[in-house]
Amino acid sequence: MRDFSGDTRLLALNTATVSKQWSLEQCIDGCVRHGIGGIAPWRDKLDACGAARAAGMIRDAGLRVTGLCRGGMFPAATAEAHQAALDDNRKAIDDAATIGAECLILVVGGLPEGSRDIADARQQVQDGIAAVLDHARASGVPLAIEPLHPMYAADRACVNTLKQANDMCDALGEGVGVAVDVYHLWWDPELEAEIARAGAAGRILGFHVCDWLVPTTDLLLDRGMMGDGVIDIPKIRGWVEAAGYGGCSEVEIFSQNNWWQRDADEVLATCIERHQTVV
């Protein structure tokens, strides 16, 4: 395993971590100030900054872009909604290309309004990715399927295990990979095997870290800082690196009542300290 004890360059800041405090411009400046090597913008902040302007700022700052969050949300109840989802994904691919993102993260979407058919939703996801894949390939933007925790199966992502994501990648071919987020996957008894499988296929496009708090008080907005919860992050990082992953650890924390309430420089300093000690 790589030694992170003195590292800041293999740490990436997902802008969600300081979502309530900073604009993208401030996030870029913050990364430079703290020596953090990578950034992963969410599209709301990217849109507020402008993709072309952001691209220049990120390049001047010497930052890697570990991913753009997010494309996806494919399952749709109507033809119009289906088309809008495809259009939005193509736009996201373009933005990812503009800022030189290493991948476009796909939060694939859950059940369409009124549906109880999760098998159909999963098929819609696969078909949706297939529909935009040529554009992604032509744009040089790998698509990263991010399996989300099963508690999001209904409303955010019906791909809930790495095995499912791997199966989907096998079906779709070149240009699609996976993002491994410890928060979503730590509980899965098949995780080690599926990480090895993903690595053997050369498709691990991202490694996201935060922690699972006990108790967790909100399904969405109560993620923990690395080290504050129960996930054995070094063990999972070991699996990911043994599978050939050599990229950044991207910190993505949604934390309504804790980290979003703190001074953003304090948040970044804490991310670095935890990156060096418990990731």
Question: Which residues of this protein are in contact with a copy of itself, per CB under 8 A?
Answer: 111, 115-119, 122, 149-151, 153-155, 158, 160-161, 164, 186-189, 212, 214-217, 219, 229-232
Give the shortest CB-153-to-a copy of itself separation in angstroms: 4
Q: Catalogue the long-range contacts made by 184-190 (C-beta closer than 8 Å, 24 or more residues apart).
A: 184/146, 184/147, 184/148, 184/149, 184/160, 185/147, 185/149, 185/161, 185/236, 186/212, 186/231, 186/232, 186/236, 188/161, 188/162, 190/161, 190/162, 190/163
Residue 11 forms beta bridges with which residues? Answer: 249
Give whichever of 149 and 237 is closer to a copy of itself, judged by the CB atom: 149
> What value, to the nearest 5°, has the Cα angle with vertex 62 and ends 59 and 65?
70
Give the shortest CB-98-to-a copy of itself separation in angstroms: 34
Give the shortest CB-190-to-a copy of itself separation in angstroms: 8
Give the shortest CB-257-to-a copy of itself separation in angstroms: 15
Give whichever of 15 and 166 is closer to a copy of itself, judged by the CB atom: 166
CA distance 261 to 63: 26
CA 52 to chain centre: 21
Give whichever of 1 and 151 is closer to a copy of itself, judged by the CB atom: 151
User: What does each C-alpha distance from 268 to 50, 57, 112, 253 come to in angstroms?
Assistant: 24, 19, 37, 11
Residues in Cβ contact with 79 at an 8 Å cutoff, skipping those fewer than 6 apart: none
With contact defined as beta carbons under 8 Å apart, do 118 and 69 qualify?
no
In the DSSP assignment, the letter for residue 225 is P
With contact defined as beta carbons under 8 Å apart, do 240 and 193 qualify?
no
Give whichever of 227 and 244 is closer to a copy of itself, judged by the CB atom: 227
Give whichever of 142 and 147 is closer to a copy of itself, judged by the CB atom: 147
Residue 174: CB atoms within 10 Å? 10
Give whichever of 6 and 214 is closer to a copy of itself, judged by the CB atom: 214
Give the shortest CB-176-to-a copy of itself separation in angstroms: 18
Give the shortest CB-233-to-a copy of itself separation in angstroms: 9
Give whichever of 52 and 230 is closer to a copy of itself, judged by the CB atom: 230
With contact defined as beta carbons under 8 Å apart, do 214 and 230 qualify?
yes
Which of these, 162, 165, 247, lies nearest to 208 by C-alpha position? 247
Give the shortest CB-215-to-a copy of itself separation in angstroms: 7
Give whichever of 77 and 230 is closer to a copy of itself, judged by the CB atom: 230
Give the shortest CB-197-to-a copy of itself separation in angstroms: 16
